[in-house]
Amino acid sequence: MTMTKLKTRLLAGLTAALLLSAASIYVAEAQAQTAKAAAEKKKAPKREPDVIFVPTPQAVVDKMLEMAEVKKGDVVYDLGCGDGRIVVTAAKKFGVKAIGFDINPVRVKESLDNVKSNKVEHLVTIKEEDIFTLDLSEASVVTLYLLPDLNVKLMPQLAKLKPGSRIVSHDFDMRGAKPVKTHRMNSNGNEDESGEHTIYKWVVPWEKE
């Protein structure tokens, strides 16, 4: 083989190797993009949440559970559980079973982390669900921090709770249902008639307004 032929073959071999490695980089990048898109899709809610996440201050959480008169044997549901603070508190303070539901997988992950760091996995379950599809019959206490219209939209589901079940809502009433108790407070936990937080309590079956 002449020197020129050898050089041509070497050059062709080198070009082929370069093309192959460029192609495998391209394929690897495309695979990484697909995996990233799949991970993003998994993190996104199945549909837009009906209300954004705003956490209830801990002092208000404590008062909501106190007003609900949570006791041994109760099952607490938080509809739209955010970072899981209400269900975690119910389990830690009262040793009751509690289930938190949220439509947003990011919130579900935060709740699961919260449950784990507070070591209440034996009592608390977190589910990625749309609250408007739930059967609430197992709950004896339901906590809400949604919006007035969402509370009203939940009424057909809430009306099926066992008699004596308690519903407590942070800040928002439930048009058409007369609360048995309301409580105004500030975030420090002090009762305050001009405080920025109101808690509403109903007992099933509620009195119509």
Ligand X SMILES: C[S@@+](CC[C@H](N)C(=O)[O-])C[C@H]1O[C@@H](n2cnc3c(N)ncnc32)[C@H](O)[C@@H]1O
Q: Return the closest-CA partner of residue 172 out of 193, 194, 143.
A: 143
Q: Return the closest-CA partner of residue 77 out of 35, 129, 152.
A: 129
Q: Which of 54, 117, 122, 188 binds ligand X (CB under 6 A)?
A: 54
Query: Alpha-carbon distance 100 to 16, whole Å?
Result: 57
Using the minimum distance from each CB to ligand X, give the nearer residue, 3 or 54. Answer: 54
Contacts of residue 16, defined as CB under 8 A and 6 or more positions apart, other chains included, come to: none
| Nearest distance in Å: CB 52, ligand X | 6
Q: Return the closest-CA partner of residue 140 out of 163, 115, 120, 117.
A: 163
Q: How many chain residues interact with ligand X (CB under 6 A)?
A: 23
Beta-strand ranges (E) seen in 33-190 are: 75-79, 97-102, 124-128, 141-144, 166-170, 177-178, 181-185
Q: Is 141 in the site for ligand X (CB under 6 A)?
A: no
Using the minimum distance from each CB to ligand X, give the nearer residue, 86 or 174. Answer: 86
| Nearest distance in Å: CB 78, ligand X | 5
What residues from 101 to 130 belong to the interface with ligand X (CB under 6 A)? 101-104, 107, 130
The continuous run of DSSP H or E covering 189 comes out as none
| Nearest distance in Å: CB 181, ligand X | 18
Using the minimum distance from each CB to ligand X, give the nearer residue, 63 or 85. Answer: 85
- Chain residues binding ligand X by CB under 6 A are 49-51, 53-56, 78, 80-82, 85-86, 101-104, 107, 130-132, 145, 170
